[in-house]
Structure 1
Amino acid sequence: MALLYVLIMGNLLFVSGRTPGVNYQYNLVPLETIKPLLFEKNRYHTETWVKNLFGNIVLFIPLGIWIPWLFLRCRKILPFTGRVVLLLFAVEIAQLITRVGSFDVDDIILNTVGAWIGYIGFALFIYSQRKPRK
């Protein structure tokens, strides 16, 4: 299932409806694209608002489940977060190099939030499975 998730995400991030752009845009300023979406919501269509904010969060919730499940070292929050940020940075760099999608530091922030939500769900599940000691 993890492989299927990787294939789906690869398609969404690099293939589906994406062509290399001539006028490539990027954002290196944290919260530059998030703030207008939150505080100037009336400037955007609902679809744009939902896709950019919630899509970037929801699509990465499974990452927060798969990484600690597959890699024991990532069951603590700091190693998990470090690996997630490095992975997301690599995806954004790949988008920058291929000019497919756009490099946006805010995507890394929102994707990390999604991964944290998945991580919390995973941690709660693991905690609930522990049997009390006698």
Structure 2
Amino acid sequence: MLAIVACMATLYVLIMGNLLFVSGRTPGVNYQYNLVPLETIKSLLFEKNRYHTEAWVKNLFGNIILFIPLGIWIPWLFRRYRKILPFTGVVVLLLFAVEVIQLITRVGSFDVDDIILNTMGAWIGYIGFAFFIFSQRRTRN
């Protein structure tokens, strides 16, 4: 089972790498970034009419949904990240690294709110994983 999970996690990493750095991405000349927490999120929530529906959904929900699997793969593959604080720490560091790579390569954009939304998605996956583990332990007893 662990080998299957590892293969699925590898496939997930490859797909995400393509989405984040390759597919439809070209280095921008006029690079934008956001270092103010909740600035983009507030704009998406309270100024919804400024955005096309597709862009609004992708930015708000896509950043959450795409990272739910991260919350499953990390604690499943690495026991030391099965507690919430170490898990959150490694997720935030990983997401920060992705944003910095986007900043350096000018592919995508550095946005601290992406880290917040992506972390929320990972937490949702983590909660799902925790419920799965809890239910497995209950059925064994």
TM norm. shorter chain > 0.5? yes
Q: Which amino acid aligns with 1:115?
A: A
Q: Does 2:128 correspond to 1:121?
A: yes
* Runs of 4+ more than 6 Å apart: none
1:24 aligned residue: 31
Letter in 1 for 2:49: N
Aligned to 2:67: 60
C-alpha distance after superposition, 1:21-41 (max 9, x if no partner) = 111111000011110110111
In 2, Cα distance between equivalents of 1:4 and 1:132: 30
Taking only aligned residues, the RMSD between alpha carbons, in angstroms, comes to 1.2
Shift of 1:131: 3.5
**Which residue in 2 is equivalent to 1:3?**
10
Q: Does 2:82 correspond to 1:75?
A: yes
Deviations 1:42-66, CA, capped at 9 Å, x for gaps: 2211111100000000000000000
Amino acid at match of 1:58: I
- The normalised TM-score by structure 2 is 0.92
In structure 1, C-alpha distance between the alignment counterparts of 2:53 and 2:45, rounded to whole Å:
12
Give aligned pairs, total: 134
Identity of aligned pairs, percent?
89
For residues 29 and 131 of structure 1, the distance between their equivalents in structure 2, rounded to whole angstroms, comes to 43
**How many Å separate the matches in 2 of 1:77 and 1:86?**
14
- List runs of 5+ in structure 1 lacking aligned partners: none
Report Cα offsets for 1:52-105 as digits up to 9, x if no partner. Answer: 000000000000000000110100000000000000000000001111000000
Measure, in 1, the Cα distance between the counterparts of 2:119 and 2:78. Answer: 17
CA distance in 1, matches of 2:72, 2:48: 31
Higher helix proportion, which one?
2
Give the secondary structure class of the aligned counterpart of 1:107: helix
